[in-house]
Structure formats: C-alpha cells, structure tokens
Amino acid sequence: METKTVKYINVNGKLMDLSHPQVMGILNVTPDSFYAGSRQQTEKDIINRTSQIIEEGASIIDIGAYSSRPNAEHISPEEEMRRLRTGLEIINRYHPGCVVSVDTFRADVAQMCVEEYGVAIINDIAAGEMDPQMFGMIARLGVPYIIMHMQGTPQNMQMNPHYDNLLKEVFLYFSEKVQKLRDLGVKDIILDPGFGFGKTVEHNYQLMNHLEEFSLFELPLLVGISRKSMIYKLLGGTPKDALNGTTVLDTISLLKGADILRVHDVKAAVETVKIVQKMKDSAAF
C-alpha cells in the first residue's frame, strides 16, 4: 500500500493531523438549505444540533448562513452576519473551544467571524470568485482556507454546466488559485472539488472516479457529497433517502484520499472513517 503524505493544518495555533481523516458536521442557520434536516434557526435547535455534532464525534463544526443550493435566494451581507452572530454566540456560550468553520464567500463576513468570534476556518464555495477581497482578507486573518470549485454562482450554476475537459479545467482552476494564495502568504489551503456545484450527475461521478489524482497538489482534500442530488437523482427519492448512498460515496472518497468529510450525518461518517482506517491498517488491504 502506498504511503500517504502526512498533512496538517494550523487550527487556532494547534496542528490538526489529517493523517486520520476528520469529520466536519454541518450546521445550517438558514430557512432554505436543500436538506430540511440541516436547517436550524431557533436557539434550542442550534444548541441541540451543535451538541449532537460534537457528541457524535466530529472534530469541526461548519456553520453556514447563506443557502448555496441551486436557485437559492440571494441574501444581503447584513442578513448573513445576523444569522451567523446568532449561531456563533450560541456555540461559544455552550461549546467554547470547539473548532468552528464558517461557510461564506464574503470577506467582511469572514473578518467578523474570525475577529469577533474566534472562528478557526473559512470555507469559501466561490474560492474568491464572488468577492475579490477574500484572498487578501484570508492572508491577513491567517486562518486555514477551504477553496471549492464552482462553475457560476448558486443562482445559475445548474442551468447548463458544461466543460470541454472537466478534470483539466478543475485542476487548472485550483493550480491558479493555490498559486495566488501562496503569493499572498496563505499557508493552510484545503481543496474541495465542489460536488454538485456547476456539475451534472455525470460530471460528479467523473470527479469521484478521478479523486485520487487530486493528490498531485499535496494539499488536504475535503469531500462534501452528503445527501446530494448526485445520489438521489441516480437512485430515486429525495435527500431524506440518501444516507446509504452518502455512506458508500464517503467510503470511496476516503479510499481515494479524502482528508475531511463534510456531512449532515456525523455518526455514520465517523463510523465510516473508523472502518476505512482499519481496512488501510490491515495487512490484507
């Protein structure tokens, strides 16, 4: 078996070892995210969801206040900040010290979250495309930065996604982004292929089939396929029915080099990580 490159990210001054894959639990403080089970808006619901994520074994909480599902409503920075303040205040009050990632594409929102609430990671679905100030802000804040590949915006990304050469275009996209970030002094960069963002079902499975090739970047790889349409459009049903499909694709992702799983169902993902690690550690694998 090939030896995997050891990867670390600096999280609030401590190194997080990604040689053992980490699980990131999703907390959406939105009224319209694609999976109804992820939407938490009342204080009680946010407390319960945050506690569940931690108790089930996730090492990172990813909080989002802007729904990025196809055709989602575009909200103002002020509304995004208001929602995030509510969620972050609750997290800090009930679970101080936990590692929090914020899902935002806006530089001013990222600044507020890091400087006022001690957020450890910024997760940007647009990789700086939707806010030209984001790269400079990340360099100034000095936090790990997740860059995702997306063709278009949440409002139009699924209208007619097209690629002449999917892998080549995604890899070129990341190589250019990584170089710009390195030039600015950003050290901790995490790649997210962007399953479901400006991609057909066929595009998504083509990416999955070549996932191990992302190792050429020698950077941590995040995979977020939890309950997405690439599962239920293929098998039938709705996001509610897509847990088994999610577990299968999470397993494949881990075997192909994923370092972080971003999921709705933390317990299932943690168990999947344990099983895959045992497989990799066994002499028979």
Q: Catalytic amino acids?
A: 228, 262
Strand pairing of 222-223 and 189-192?
A: unpaired
Q: How many helices (H) and strands (E) does the chain have?
A: 9, 10
Q: What is the DSSP letter of 108?
A: H
Q: CA quadruple 182, 129, 119, 227: dihedral positive or negative?
A: negative
Segment 151-155 long-range contacts (CB within 8 Å, at least 24 positions apart): 151/197, 151/198, 151/199, 152/198, 153/126, 154/67, 154/68, 154/69, 154/70, 154/71, 154/72, 154/74, 154/125, 154/197, 155/71, 155/72, 155/74
Q: Which residue's structure tokens are 């997760």? A: 123
Cβ atoms < 10 Å from Cβ of 240: 11
Q: For residues 153 and 70, what is the distance between their CA atoms, to the nearest angstrom?
A: 9
Cα 81 to Cα 85, 104, 110, 182: the distances in Å are 6, 10, 9, 28
